[in-house]
Each structure stands twice: as C-alpha cells, then as structure tokens.
C-alpha cells in the first residue's frame, strides 16, 4: 500500500471515528502533496461514511455516532469542494434531491441523516430546512428540477402536508417529472401508497437504495 493509499485509509477511519480535526488535517496534507480532491472524496470521506451507514444499519452504532460521522464528512467536504471546482472537475453524481421537513414540523434529525447518506452516495442534495411551506417545495422543484423530492414529517398532525405537496405537483402538471419520497416516524408504506408517493423507507439506508431504484441508478 502506497503512502497516499495509507492516508486515504486513515481518512476513512477518521470519518468513522468522527474526528473532525483529524479529517481536516489529513485532507490538507493530501492536497499539499498533490492528491486529486475527487479521489480524496471517493476513497476517503465517502468510503468512511458508507462504513458508518452499514454499521448503523446493523445496529452496531448509535444514532449520535452516525450524526457525528456525518458532520465530520461535511466538514471535510467544505475543504474539498472549492478545490474540486478550482480544478474544474465534477463529483460523480448519482442524482439530485430537494428535501425538507413539511410546514408545521420542526424536526430535522432524520432528515439530516438522510442528507448525509444521500450525499455520500453521490446525490446532489438541497436542504430546504424545517417548517417548509408547500409553495416553497413547489418553487424549488420548478427551479432545480431534481430527480427526487423528499418530504419529511415526524408528527401525525403534519403528514397531511406531504399529501398537499403531491396534490399541488399534480395540479401544476409537475408530478410526472419527479419522484416523491416520504419519511418520518408518523408515516408508513400504507400512507405512502394512499397519498401517491413513489417511495417510503423506514431508515436512511433503505431510502438510498429505493431512491436509486426509482431513478434507475441502482
């Protein structure tokens, strides 16, 4: 194993450990030695967050550990994205996604986990935040034309908003152009089918697999 490969392996391990300072340090070291920023993302950061996702899916990691690793990866990406853009390169993309928590709901824990894992799997994700009005979802779909729209809701009182967004997409003739996925503690597969969503997942790992299937990227 070369010195660069050893550093990339260490980088992925630091992501797993949630060591932000260590990740920043080794990324800077790799960039100074002339390493390709794209390879740093793919063979270091992404590899690490995928390991975390797999372990979390098996129940080997706690939610707090998953979130820490996700934040660590995002901090690393803040250093690498400008370098990638400077070299006029492009990250390997699986698809694009707009996601937000529906109006009346301010919970974002599950949404943030989804964002981290989708980003790690090559999705370009735009996060609209929490308490997002129906019209804001519609406006972003019109503007960005993403492959997937993710609607998160934790409370039973707010899940009707997921239905409202889908109905509004239909009324504007936009529904056939996008795949809609829903999630949140108050939702389930039956409700997803009832409101005409394209996909539902109980967890972020399954959500990534379903999303890839929906857009033919599996």
Q: Count CB neighbours of 11 within 10 A.
A: 26
Closest C-alpha among 81, 149, 144 to residue 114: 149
Q: What CA–CA distances, in Å, run from 126 to 45, 132, 184?
A: 19, 13, 18
In this prediction, residue 102 carries a pLDDT of: 97
For residue 96, pLDDT beyond 80: yes
Would the CATH topology of 3-86 be identical to that of 95-214?
no
Q: Taking a C-beta distance cutoff of 8 angstroms, is the pair 83, 32 a contact?
A: no
**Could you tell me where the DSSP H helices lie in 58-188?**
63-86, 109-120, 134-144, 160-171
Calculate the average pLDDT of the chain.
91
In this prediction, residue 29 carries a pLDDT of: 96
* Residue-range domain boundaries for the chain: 3-86, 95-214
Task: Tell how strand 199-200 and strand 148-152 pair up.
Answer: unpaired
In this prediction, residue 81 carries a pLDDT of: 84
**pLDDT confidence band for 1 (50 / 70 / 90):** low
In this prediction, residue 218 carries a pLDDT of: 63
- Of 88-92, 109-113, 211-215, least confident by mean pLDDT is 88-92
Q: pTM, whole model, 2 decimals?
A: 0.73
**pLDDT tens across 157-183, in order?**
999 999 999 999 999 999 999 999 999
**pLDDT tens across 35-94, in order?**
999 899 889 998 898 888 888 878 898 888 988 998 898 899 889 988 888 887 677 789
In this prediction, residue 21 carries a pLDDT of: 97
- Enclosing H/E stretch for 205: helix 204-214
Pick 3-86's CATH classification: 3.40.50.1000, 1.10.1240.10, 1.10.645.10, 3.20.10.10: 1.10.1240.10
CATH architecture for residues 95-214: 3-Layer(aba) Sandwich (3.40)
């Amino acid at each position: 194993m070369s010195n660069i490969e050893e550093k990339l392996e260490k980088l992925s391990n630091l992501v797993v450990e949630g060591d932000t300072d260590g990740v920043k340090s080794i990324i800077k070291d790799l960039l100074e030695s002339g390493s390709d920023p794209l390879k740093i993302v793919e063979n270091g950061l992404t590899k690490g967050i995928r390991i975390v996702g797999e372990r979390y899916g098996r129940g080997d990691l706690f939610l707090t550990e998953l979130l820490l690793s996700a934040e660590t990866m995002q901090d690393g990406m803040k250093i690498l994205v400008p370098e990638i853009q400077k070299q006029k390169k492009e990250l390997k993309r699986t698809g694009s996604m707009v996601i937000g928590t529906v109006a009346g709901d301010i919970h974002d824990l599950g949404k943030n986990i989804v964002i981290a894992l989708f980003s790690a799997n090559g999705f370009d994700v735009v996060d609209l935040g929490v308490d997002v009005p129906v019209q804001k979802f519609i406006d972003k779909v019109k503007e960005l034309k993403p492959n997937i729209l993710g609607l998160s809701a934790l409370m039973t009182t707010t899940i009707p908003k997921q239905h409202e967004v889908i109905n509004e997409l239909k009324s504007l003739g936009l529904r056939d152009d996008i795949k809609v996925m829903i999630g949140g503690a108050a939702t389930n597969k039956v409700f997803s089918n009832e409101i005409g969503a394209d996909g539902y997942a109980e967890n972020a790992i399954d959500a990534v697999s379903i999303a890839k299937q929906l857009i033919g990227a599996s």
